[in-house]
Amino acid sequence: MSDSAAETTVFEHVGNDGLYAVSGSDGYPEEYRLLELTPEIAAQLDAGDTTLVVRGRDTDTAVLIDANEQAHAMHTAHTSNSMYLLTQDSGQLVLRTKLHQVFDLQPTRPQIRARVLEVLQWDTRGAFRGTEFEHDGSVTNDDSVTNDDSVTDGVRVTDTAFDQHVQAGRTHVRRVLDDVLAFRHNASGHWRVLDAGYASDVLRVILATHVERDWPLDALHVDTVYSALHAESHILREVVDAVLRRFATEQMGVFAMDTRRVCVFLAEQIFASAGSRAWPVPEFLRALRATMPPQLSLHEDMSEWGSRSISTSVVGKLAVATCAPADEHLLHSPNGVPASLTLLLPLDNNTLPQDVRARMRELFAAKSKWTAREMRPFLEDLVADDNPSVVAKAVDSWLLKFGRGVRGSNGESVYTSRIN
């Protein structure tokens, strides 16, 4: 399908049973496909909702984004009988096309994060490290400055790029952009991702200023923070906003610093600093405490981070618990491996395959034995529904399909790979 499908797709009602004809105005206006909609989506379309769009590249499975920004993969279903699409012209029936297949819709969860990161990387300037490093003057504190007409050194990323290449609604895309520390420069309209070290520095400046000015950490305002930081540190307002969105929760324009989010971010940086090596829990905790801003404290007893606690801890989606070979008999025992003997093996979801079978192959390659509780954090992004019970059921079914389960001494099933 065309990259411009989000803007050119046309739906025409051709029946009373949720059947619609889909056409594209990208050079083939007479080429139709039939699409069977769910009653809920058909009602949205009948109500004249213009937010119903189809998105994807030529190489993607087309995805329909409904008015509630839910994603539905469009799969081809062949019919046993031919279907004729007719229209009336001057009282005469005119055959438009003969069809042998219908698109049906299946809920899906497109890999938004991976595609957003790919698009952001098209900007040849790299991660944003502060205005002092912007030699072309394209990003400054002066909102009147724009370089839309003077870009000569590579691609600049705008909202249109995400519309064309990411199979999701803008609300979901924005959520991912916040999570990956991206910001949109107001004057140019260009998106950039913040350098992790720079974002950490800005966070620490905000926290230090909070102490100086006695700001409540649960009631921070972007404009107040920006005004305090702007004069001396030349930090962009958009950067302040991006850092608060990543490390705080927002309600009605007021931000409350979220210590757990900060901790997860710092843990990511610690794991990234040492490649894929396993970290003894005591060593990791020392590194985490050393980098944690003194103004924040995590309300979690990290001293009890034994192997059974890791999957629900702040590193539950960043690492899996393992241990030395001599202690493996304890790993799936009732009490697990104590914190002093537990190792944290980093696993980056962003680098794992998006196919279930391929991902589970890599997970079993990283660690030969898993419980459903341990594997769930590394598979839940592949499930089309956020409901915990739906996620648990999907993960259980994949483990039964791709793994061999044996009841462990703690009562949980322990799975090894059956993937060839």
Of the candidates 401, 409, 399, the residue with the CA atom closest to the CA atom of residue 378? 399
pLDDT higher than 90, residue 396: yes
Q: Can you give the pLDDT at residue 77?
A: 82
Beta carbons within 10 angstroms of residue 182's beta carbon: 25
Contact call for residues 154 and 125 (beta carbons, < 8 A): yes
Q: Please list the helix, strand and coil fractions of the chain in percent, rounded to the nearest 5, in that order.
A: 40, 25, 40
Note the pLDDT tens digit of each residue in 66-78: 888 889 998 888 8
Average pLDDT over residues 229-245: 90
Q: Can you give the pLDDT at residue 76?
A: 86
Note the pLDDT tens digit of each residue in 330-347: 888 888 999 999 999 999
Q: Can you give the pLDDT at residue 9?
A: 57
List residues bridging with 33 in a β-sheet.
22
pLDDT higher than 90, residue 320: yes
Note the pLDDT tens digit of each residue in 281-307: 999 999 999 999 988 887 667 777 889
Note the pLDDT tens digit of each residue in 61-115: 889 998 888 899 988 888 777 777 777 777 777 777 777 788 889 888 888 888 9
Note the pLDDT tens digit of each residue in 184-234: 999 889 999 999 999 999 999 999 999 999 999 999 999 999 999 987 788
Name the band, by pLDDT with cuts 50, 70 and 90, for residue 50.
Answer: low
The three-point CA angle 76-79-83 to 5° equals: 105
> How remote is the C-alpha of 45 from its chain's centroid?
28
Contact call for residues 161 and 173 (beta carbons, < 8 A): no
User: pLDDT above 90 covers what percent of the chain?
Assistant: 50
pLDDT higher than 90, residue 5: no
Burial class (CB in 10 A: 0-12, 13-18, 19+), 155: middle
Note the pLDDT tens digit of each residue in 261-282: 999 999 999 999 988 899 999 9
Distance CA(241)–CA(183), nearest Å, equals 8
Its pTM surpasses 0.85: no
Distance CA(157)–CA(217), nearest Å, equals 33
* Average predicted confidence (pLDDT) for the chain: 84
pLDDT higher than 50, residue 245: yes
Of the candidates 169, 246, 168, the residue with the CA atom closest to the CA atom of residue 202? 246
- Kindly report which listed range (18-27, 262-271, 305-314) carries the lowest average pLDDT score: 18-27
Sign, CA dihedral 230-235-239-240, equals: negative
Distance CA(87)–CA(91), nearest Å, equals 10
pLDDT higher than 80, residue 58: yes
Would you state the structure tokens that stand for residue 316, as one six-digit string? 């539950």
Contact call for residues 206 and 230 (beta carbons, < 8 A): no
Query: 3-class DSSP state for residue 415?
Result: strand
pLDDT higher than 70, residue 135: no
The better pLDDT of the pair 7, 161 is held by 161
